[in-house]
Structure 1
Amino acid sequence: MPKVRDLMTRRVECIGADETLEVAARRLRDLDVGALPVLAPDGDLAGMLTDRDIVIRGIAEGSDARSERVGAIAARPPVTIDPEATIENAIALMEGRRVRRLPVIQEGRLVGILAQADVARYYATYRVGELIAFISQ
């Protein structure tokens, strides 16, 4: 069974905690992603920001997207996982904490992100391979 490190995305786009919600929304749009890890000024992971956070915890609460800072609404502390964890552990953590993405932390640093889509792609490929092997018998 694969480990988180086998399925995670290694090039992770992030946003600074001091950026505005407007900048964050544009970055999410431009990257075509639904979430970004939030970094503190020292480079440590400070939280996770989703497009839903911007709408529900920001705009709907009356925040001005041009002045409200990402750090004020980002989910903290972020739910993280180790790259050596199994995919089963990652799935259980996602289900238990109701998150779709897990920042992957090794020795205190962000080294990747594991999304539900990464897990789904693996299982889709795995099942297709299993089916082909069965048919080929």
Structure 2
Amino acid sequence: MPKNIFIEDIMVRDVACATLPGSRDEVLKILKNKHISGVPVLKDSKVVGIVTRTNLLQNPEEEQLALLMTREPITISPGSDLQTASRLLLQHGIRRLPVVDNGKLVGLVTVADVVGAIADMNIDTPIKDYVEKEVVAIYNETPLPVVARIMELASVKAVPVLDASLELVGIISDRDIISASIIEDSVEMSDMSSGQDDDAWTWESMRDTMSIYYSVSRIKVPNLIGNDIMIKEPITATYIASISDCARKMKRNRIDQIPIINSNRKLQGLLRDHDLLKPLIES
């Protein structure tokens, strides 16, 4: 297995970024337009955070970028090797590493970039030992807000979709949910009393109240069903497929996971892009 692949060889150099102060709407626009799942956050040209689709979905009412982002992100240098990047991505359960040289952002390396390198390595080890067999799957007529909540509770970024006969008919990722989501503005009211609870002269029925109206902006998952937005006829594989074969499928189709099925199209497990990194750090 090659040992001389360095981060500067595979990193993305033209990096989409968000800057402080910034807003959720600006980030959402970048993610949708660039078809990416997260961006570094800069302040005075230094990396101070990472903001992802997960941050947006878990905090639908938060608008300030500084409160949405994950602070003090793990970074890597351009001279580090592929194994070091794989170890960091797996150890911290993250999808991207800002590449920093002398305190300056010079690139970004993602799980997809590492998978792209694996695709060229011709690793013929079967995927069977790396497939996740405990998989959260949903019924194709499940309401989309319920799908989003299931994914949040299960801490997964994609779910296979099954029909009534338990056959695999699609897959839904957080990318699909974000693409379908909208920003919803509303006005809410809060009643505030001018009396105090410990004021003996203030009766509940006579207490003066003051109504405060304020605007709320939140990300809303539309009232669709899984079948409406799922990727139909997803790319699949079987247990005997090799590591590099699956990496090539992910790279070619720009996907992060592959459902594993048997000859009857029954779901057996899910191979995530993170799983393909494991052979690199085992060698």
TM-score for the superposition, normalised by structure 2: 0.41
Matched with 1:52 is: 54
Alpha-carbon RMSD? 1.1
| Equivalent residue letter for 2:90 | E
Following the alignment from structure 1 to structure 2, what is the Cα–Cα distance between the partners of residues 20 and 94? 27
Contact 1:83 1:104 (8 Å CA) reproduced = yes
| Equivalent residue letter for 2:49 | G
Following the alignment from structure 1 to structure 2, what is the Cα–Cα distance between the partners of residues 112 and 23? 21
Alignment partner of 1:88 is 2:86: no
Moved over 2 A (4+): none
1:11 partner SS: coil
Give the number of the structure with larger relative contact order, counting CA–CA contacts within 8 Å between residues 6 or more apart: 1
**Richer in strand (by share):** 2
Which of 60, 66, 75 aligns to 1:71? It is 66
Paired residues, what number?
120
Following the alignment from structure 1 to structure 2, what is the Cα–Cα distance between the partners of residues 118 and 79? 17
Matched with 1:111 is: 106
Matched with 1:14 is: 17
Matched with 2:7 is: 4
Deviation at residue 103 of structure 1 after TM alignment: 0.3
Deviation at residue 80 of structure 1 after TM alignment: 0.4
Deviation at residue 73 of structure 1 after TM alignment: 1.6
| Equivalent residue letter for 1:94 | L
Structure 2, unpaired ranges of 5+: 124-283
Following the alignment from structure 1 to structure 2, what is the Cα–Cα distance between the partners of residues 23 and 12? 16
Following the alignment from structure 2 to structure 1, what is the Cα–Cα distance between the partners of residues 120 and 84? 20
Following the alignment from structure 2 to structure 1, what is the Cα–Cα distance between the partners of residues 117 and 14? 18
Deviation at residue 126 of structure 1 after TM alignment: 2.0
1:72 partner SS: helix
Deviation at residue 22 of structure 1 after TM alignment: 1.2
Contact 2:45 2:105 (8 Å CA) reproduced = no
Structure 1, unpaired ranges of 5+: 129-137
* CA-to-aligned-CA distance 1:78-131 (integer Å, 9 cap, x gap): 110011111100100111111110000000000000001111011112218xxx
Contact 1:100 1:116 (8 Å CA) reproduced = yes
Deviation at residue 76 of structure 1 after TM alignment: 0.9
Following the alignment from structure 1 to structure 2, what is the Cα–Cα distance between the partners of residues 45 and 102? 11
Higher-Rg structure is 2
Percent identity over paired residues: 28
Deviation at residue 71 of structure 1 after TM alignment: 1.4
* Match runs of 1:36-51 below 5 Å: 36-40=39-43, 42-51=44-53
1:93 partner SS: helix
